[in-house]
Amino acid sequence: MSDLKIALDEAAGEGIISSDQAARLLPYLSDRNIGALAATGALSELRSTDAPNPLEETEAPRFVRGFHDVLITIGIVVLLVGLWGVANHSVSLLAIGILAEILVRRQRLALPAVVLTIALVNWLVQTMIGYVDTMPSLFADFTHGAVVLVAPFPIMLALFYWRYRVPLSLALLLFSLFGLLLAAVFYAVGSMLGSSDVLTDYPLLTLVILFAAALGSFALAMRFDLSDSQRQTRRSDVAFWLHLVTAPALLYSTILLVLRLQLANSGVVFNNLTNVFFGGYLQAFTVLAVVLVMMLIGLIIDRRAFVTAGLVSLGLATGAILRHNDAGLDKIGFLVLMIVGLVVLVIGIGWADLRRIVVRRLPLSIQGRLPILR
């Protein structure tokens, strides 16, 4: 039952209006979006006027308020895909803007807001790739090309967030700023070292830079997360999106950096991920250890993204260990699936209990700053 209907029923019960008037006012006011959330979109604003449910999962943003949102979202996707095929890019951008004005600014629909934000990013990606394709000189200098490619993203996303206050757009804005800074760093390093492709010429330095960027992204996500330990405001929504990207970035930058150092010390050439993950016992157990540490971090801060991000690496490391123990090749795949599935179920079912066990062993000063135990 909506807050508007509750208010009208209470007004009728107190004799302010009649029951018939209340019934007639409800669709009238609903059609005019009266009684919906204010469109301020402040980060400290509550996600919804609905009463919080103590049993409800509070980690993720609330995307859907009903099948109406799903139906509208399907229409958005179909329309934009159709426009992309028959019209130029400017028409697609105009359509995104018009739909955002109606569905995001006026009606405050969460799922369409997410889809339109993703559509804007996709438009930017396709447009910039098309531009870079027309500039052959940018291919010759990767670092310079990366700066040019990323530069428009912060501007467009900042305007989109300023207008519509979508948490995902703020998270993507922050990531685009990180990307621009990262591209600038690679450009500066390449200029100092006289290299137009730092990623290929200096792989170890590249991994150190990427690891530092992932740590910075994690620190930013935690800043938003710890500012709303109750998980009730839009700050938590922004943190959700930041963690969703930061978790795999931090995981794989850590794994690749550690394994690069290990393989370099052993004289093994670092060719590709397959060689790294299946290089031997030491590499497999290293991957396993990093994954478990990331899962522990996710458990402490109550973010499941750190668990799901490590599932592929967990499967690869488990498969490598089984292979070195002469497990039958025809059974390795099934054993890996069984083990990973069991880990997911144990963590998923016992999340709250496991988190209580771990968090309560931390210093009280740290416990007080973490998301509340449920």
Residue 77 domain-assigned (yes or no): yes
81 and 144 part of one domain:
yes
Residue 358 lies in a domain: no
Percent residues over pLDDT 90 in the chain: 36
- Judge whether 22 and 9 are in contact, CB under 8 Å: yes
Token pair belonging to 311: 């599932």
Give the residue numbers spanning the domain of 146. 61-166
Rounded average pLDDT over 266-277: 50
**Residue 307 to residue 355: CA distance in whole angstroms:** 13
Which of 146, 166, 186 is where one domain is finished? 166
Residues 22 and 115 in one domain: no
- Chosen domain end from 148, 166, 184: 166
pTM beyond 0.95, yes or no: no
3-state secondary structure of 41: coil
With residues binned 3-state (H G I as helix, E B as strand, rest as coil), the percentages for the chain, rounded to 5, are: 75, 0, 25
372 alpha-carbon distance from chain centroid = 21
Please say if the pLDDT value at position 32 is more than 80.
no
Whether 310 is covered by a domain: the verdict is no
233 strand-pairing partners: 46
Residues 34, 4 contacting (CB under 8 angstroms) = yes
Question: Last residue of a domain, which of 124, 139, 166?
Answer: 166
Average pLDDT over residues 78-97: 90
Number of domains in the chain: 2
To the nearest whole percent, how much of the chain has pLDDT over 70? 78
DSSP-assigned states of every residue in 116-181? HHHHHHHHHHHHHHHHHHT-HHHHH-HHHHHHHHHTHHHHHHHHHHHHH--HHHHHHHHHHHHHHH
72 and 32: one domain? no
Q: Are residues 27 and 75 in the same domain?
A: no
CA 50 centroid distance within chain? 24
Indicate the pLDDT class of residue 162, thresholds 50, 70 and 90: very high
Asked if the structure places residue 147 within a domain, the reply is yes
Q: Does residue 146 share a domain with residue 90?
A: yes
pLDDT of amino acid 49: 46
- Is the pLDDT confidence value at 231 over 60? yes
Kindly list the distances between the CA atom of residue 10 and the CA atoms of 6, 15, 17, in Å, as whole numbers in the listed order. Answer: 6, 9, 9
Q: In this structure, are 30 and 78 located in the same domain?
A: no
Residue 143 belongs to some domain of the structure: yes
